[in-house]
Amino acid sequence: MPESGNRKVNHHKNHIEHWQKIAFLLMIYDAFAVSVSYLLALWIRFDCMFQKIEAEYLTAWRSIALIYVIFCIVCFWLCNLYRSIWRFASYRELLRVILATVITTLFHILAIPIIFRIVGHGIYTRMPVSYYIIGPILQFILTLGIRFSYRFVLLVKSKKGQSKTKNVMLIGAGVAGQAILRDIQKSSQSEDMVVCFIDDNPNKWNRLIDDVPVVGGRDSILENVRKYEIDKIYMAIPSASAESKRDILNICNETHCELKNLPGIYQFVRGDISVSAMKEVSVEDLLGRDPIKPDMTEVFRFIKNKVVLVTGGGGSIGSELCRQVAAHSPRQLIIFDVYENNAYDIQLELKDKYPDLNLVALIGSVRDSRRMYEVFETYRPNIVFHAAAHKHVPLMEDSPNEAIKNNVIGTYKTAYAAMVHGCERFVLISTDKAVNPTNIMGASKRLCEMVIQSFDQKIKEGKANEIPQLFTHVGRENADKDGTGAVFRNAKTEFVAVRFGNVLGYNGSVISMFKRQIEKGGPVTVTHPDIIRYFMTIPEAVSLVLLAGTYAKGGEIFVLDMGSPVKIDTLARNLIRLSGYKPDIDIRIEYTGLRPGEKLFEEKLMAEEGLRKTDNKLIHIGNPIPFDVDEFLKQLKVLMNKSYSNSKHIRELVELMVSTYHPAGQGEPQYTNDEYTRQIQLIREDDQ
């Protein structure tokens, strides 16, 4: 065995690599090239006729050839001309060849005569001046040519192997468009060729930019795509509004072309305008709404040096909340989540980005009142952003009691712990699905809003002691420990809710589902051809939440003006086109019917709610719908007990408590006035 192993090792040591073989062949070629280049120099000097070359010059050339060849090989080796990968040769290799040529030429002119005087007893004959000029030039050409010819051959082969040149339409005949054009033109590796410009300025029509015609405005895009057989469309109008970009991209999206977009004015200001700076057009680009960019100065003042708790801090909204809070210098940031993987990921991310941040990551459930008490007693947060919730509509329809336990009772227990531990501000993350809900998830979030409104009203009335402390176990964390009621008299927490629509980019979003379906080759499933939704990005939603924390006076429901709603069917078709396919041809769209609890459209406000303005024109405040707070708090205790007993009639009880909740397919509430009264009596009896 050892002998066999040694044989393998020796075999490996004796193995000659491919590059070493190439280097050896290059040495042989260089030996020929450097010697023959100076012979050719003599030949040229004497009118390209060998018989005219004087014998003494030929004798001198023969006598120095071997010495010069050996020196050149050594010099080339030291200059790494035998170790370079010539298929990737660049100006560095060119500089090395120039350096080697200069060194060997100086050796030929200066050193060889000295060597011959010392060793050769003066037999060396000084050559003609042209010999020392033409010889190095020929040597440089021959040694460089063989090396770069390899790259040239590969380039020609690759060009032959490529498909036909890609015709590009550039939208925007301004400075950015010209920069993209020149970047494409100067790139020897690019397969793109700009064949026309589109610009809405009629003054530029039928004129040329670097011999490329400006053929018309956005209305002529489809016509010129066919005329010029366009393969790619690059949009280079960084200063255009979101609405204008959306309109143009929607036209382009009707073509088969690959779409790319210059991200924005920032790249223009930086001078970073090139093909590489362009990005694929995303679905967000097609929503047609300028991103909300509120002045975060107030947020900075509000959060700075505060202890901030984010429940559900590992989720899509929660993690972005943690990122933005961490950027505003809190005294301490507490990430609280029941799922340890998500909490760990955002913890590592923030530690890496903000090494000086006082960061705590805690695992636990908002349904556990003892755990929530422990967190609040230990860390005393000033601000709570409550993002922990079950949000998936179909899943909650199958498990309605879990929606109540986690969303409603979890919110209640967290809010109660915040109130009795002196928290300044409690911000609930709500949803537009809470408006006239047809599903249990939306109804549970409406109940969460009612919890917040109840807490706020009782505190403002000085009746915080009337808010019951709910337990699903024997409670040892009694709020009024000293029996004086001071904890309730000192309650000052301001409770608010923030309501927004669907967010783009989270794992459970419809866009993520569409992308997975497209990757599998379809079909892409849409529940209904007319279903519409409001969308915003996660950073926008979080900016709204943070601003709500600064604007809050207590009891408000903040609502974002999310622009125009988007048809999900249109969204799916756009995403298929952006992926390079044709809807209903390459990727089929299949309508599956509305899921349980799903509505054709989501409302931002209930009909009974009005709107009040804030300092930000895109952020409004909904006037709360009045309800009997005392009755609601009594019902809530029964709701908790029913949910923890996994009642099959939880929806009916929720329907009693949320007057706007009409489960899908059931129409109006199923209770008569007499039945309603009887249910309330049962609730009271259960309470007793």
**What are the DSSP calls for 570-639, one per residue?**
HHHHHHHHHTT--BTTTB-EEE--PPTT--SS--SS-TT--EEE-SSTTEEEEPPPP--HHHHHHHHHHH
Q: What is the DSSP string of 67-120?
A: HHHHHHHHHHHHTTTTTS-GGG--HHHHHHHHHHHHHHHHIIIIIHHHHHHHTS
Rounded CA-CA distance 206/216 in Å is 7
Query: What is this structure's pTM?
Result: 0.62
Rounded CA-CA distance 574/583 in Å is 8
pLDDT reading at 193 higher than 60: yes
Q: Decide if 38 contacts 131 (C-beta within 8 A).
A: yes
- DSSP structural state of residue 616: S
Mean pLDDT, range 268-272, rounded to an integer: 40
Residue whose structure tokens are 């009891």: 555
User: What band does 152 get if pLDDT is binned at 50, 70 and 90?
Assistant: low
**166-281: CATH topology:** Rossmann fold (3.40.50)
Tell me the sheet residues that pair with 334.
Answer: 309, 360
Residue whose structure tokens are 């991200």: 263
Closest CA to 682 of 644, 641, 630: 641
Domain boundaries, the chain: 17-160, 166-281, 297-506+534-564+604-622, 629-687
Q: What is the DSSP string of 529-549?
A: TT-EE-EEEHHHHHHHHHHHH
Q: Which CATH superfamily is domain 297-506+534-564+604-622 in?
A: NAD(P)-binding Rossmann-like Domain (3.40.50.720)
Q: Decide if 466 contacts 458 (C-beta within 8 A).
A: yes
Q: What is the pLDDT of residue 266?
A: 35
Q: Decide if 114 contacts 121 (C-beta within 8 A).
A: no
Mean pLDDT rounded to a whole number for the chain:
80
Q: What is the pLDDT of residue 569?
A: 85
Sign of CA pseudo-dihedral 590, 594, 600, 602: negative
In angstroms, the Cα distances linking 172 to 179, 196, 234 are: 11, 10, 9
pLDDT reading at 46 higher than 50: yes
Closest CA to 408 of 203, 587, 657, 172: 657
Q: What is the pLDDT of residue 272?
A: 44
User: What band does 440 get if pLDDT is binned at 50, 70 and 90?
Assistant: very high
Rounded CA-CA distance 351/341 in Å is 15
Residue 29: half-sphere exposure toward Cβ, Cα within 13 Å: 16
Tokens linked to 192: 């793109």
Domains 166-281 and 297-506+534-564+604-622 equal at CATH topology level:
yes
Q: Decide if 308 contacts 381 (C-beta within 8 A).
A: yes
pLDDT tens readout for residues 536-595:
777 877 887 787 778 777 778 888 766 667 788 888 887 787 776 778 888 899 998 877
pLDDT tens readout for residues 58-88:
888 888 888 888 999 899 888 888 776 665 5
Q: How far is CA 376 from the centre of its chain?
A: 34
pLDDT reading at 470 higher than 70: yes
C-alpha gyration radius of the chain: 38
Q: Is the peptide bond before 202 cis (omega within 30 degrees of 0)?
A: no
